[in-house]
Structures are given as structure tokens and as C-alpha cells.
A = this chain, B = another copy of it.
Amino acid sequence: MDRLLSNSASLKSNEKCDTCTVRHRAVCGALSTKELNHLNQIARDKNFSAGDVILSDEEPADFVGIITSGAVKLTKTLADGRQQIVGLQFASDFLGRTYNDRNHFFAEAATDVEICSFLRHDYEVMLERFPELENRLLQHTLDELDSAREWMLLLGRKTAEEKVASFLLMLAKKSSQIGCHHNNALTFATFTLPITRTDMGDYLGLTIETVSRQITRLKARKIISITGNRDFLVPDLEKLAEVAGNDVSDIN
């Protein structure tokens, strides 16, 4: 602990957890104030600029962490350069692989990113010490698995139009979680794309041209409208959901 306390500049103060914007949504929300204090002691902030590689599949990662701001893309690449984004993570998401020193993907900062990080080994000790923390991580991992499987359906069976609509719908729903809820019947949404068209293609298993064409079509059909370059407005989420091809039971 002395080792960790020595660099006081990058250490988080106790109050930092109290004012943390993601605390309740993140895995640490499972902990009591006292327990949180222990975690606090070993946490340190890391900052990345858009484009930075946060984790590589080549070298073992020595840390894990919770994203406190920004967007992170998890990518896998074939030998000839074809790329697939296998996960997009935002504030409050857990980043990194416990119990395995090898990642099977890259994590890249899609925007500027702030991470509340822990040395992997130290964090694993905490997991052992606080079963609630491990339980919360398990639940988070199960949710991620559900999302991954939802995306498998999209990649394997949806058309280009449905793929693009599904992605925009996902962002629209995410933004409304953070922004204001209208009286249960949320009908419209605005949001800003956190990633480029190329990334959209890599996330949806499409080329950038196809993504662009589908966006143009959705615009022409008045299902979306674009203000500025990356700012989207969806006037009727129901209509977008219809195009996305989700059946009623879908939550994601």
C-alpha cells in the first residue's frame, strides 16, 4: 500500500468516490462506504486521447478499470486488415479482463477517455475480499454477454438498413438514459455520434459506403435528421425501432 500511496498526485481522495458520476451504475456501487475506501486506496486515474490504444491483444495488460468518461471501442482484426468492433463501452462500464493476463482484443479510445484504474492483481485481491464486488462484476459480465449475443443476431441476420437503424436506436436509448426521461412515453431523442462512419461500419459488419447510403436513405424517409455533422435527431423512436427490425420483447 505504501508503494501505491507514494504517488499522491494521481491518488483519488476519499471524496472523489462520493462525487463520482458513475459510482452507482458501476460495479463499485455494490460496496459500502468502508469497503469503498479500500478500493479507493488502490485506484488511480488514467487519461487517454482519442485514438490511443488502451489495451492490446499482444501484450498482457496489468490493469483493469472503470470508464468514467468517454467512449472505448473493442476491436478484433483479421490478418489482412479486416476489422470488427466487438464492443462499445461508455462511462460506468468495466474495462479489462480479470483472471487472464491475455486480452483477445484491442481497446482503443474512440474519444478522449478517463478511466478509474486498478492494477489487475490488486483488483483480483479485492474481488476475493468483497464477494459483493465479484457478484456485481459477474452480473455486469452476464449483461455484456447478453449484448454480445444480441449483436450476433444483428451481424448474422439483419440487413444493412436494419443494422444502421439498430445502431442509431441503441445510441438514442443510451442518451435518453443519461438525459431526461419523458413521462414513460419517450418518443423522440437527440444524440451525438461518438464514433466515425468507419467505426460504424466496423461495428455493423458493413463498409463505410453502405453505412453512408443507409443514413442518407433514413434521412430521406424522415426517420432521422442530422443537425451539424454528428448530431442526430430521431423524431419517432417507434418508427426507428420498426426499421431496426427488433421484435417487441427486445430490451437492449
Contact = CB atoms under 8 A, between A and B. Distances in A.
Contacts of A123: none
Nearest to A202: B156
Contact of A204 (B87, B142, B156, B245): B156
B76 A142 contact: no
Interface in A50-91: 57-58, 74, 76, 78-80, 82-84, 86-87
A51 to B, nearest CB: 21
A38 interface: no
Number of copies: 2
Interface stretch (A3-11, A14-22, A94-102): A94-102
Q: How large is the interface on A (under 10, 10 to 19, 20 to 34, 35 or more residues)?
A: 35 or more
A139 B142 CA distance: 11
Interface stretch (A128-136, A181-189, A224-232): A128-136
Contacts of A100: 142
B153 A76 contact: yes
Contacts of A146: 104
A76 B105 CA distance: 25
Contacts of A145: 141, 144-145, 148
A251 B158 CA distance: 28
Nearest to A58: B249
Contacts of A134: 131, 134-135, 138
A131 B126 CA distance: 13
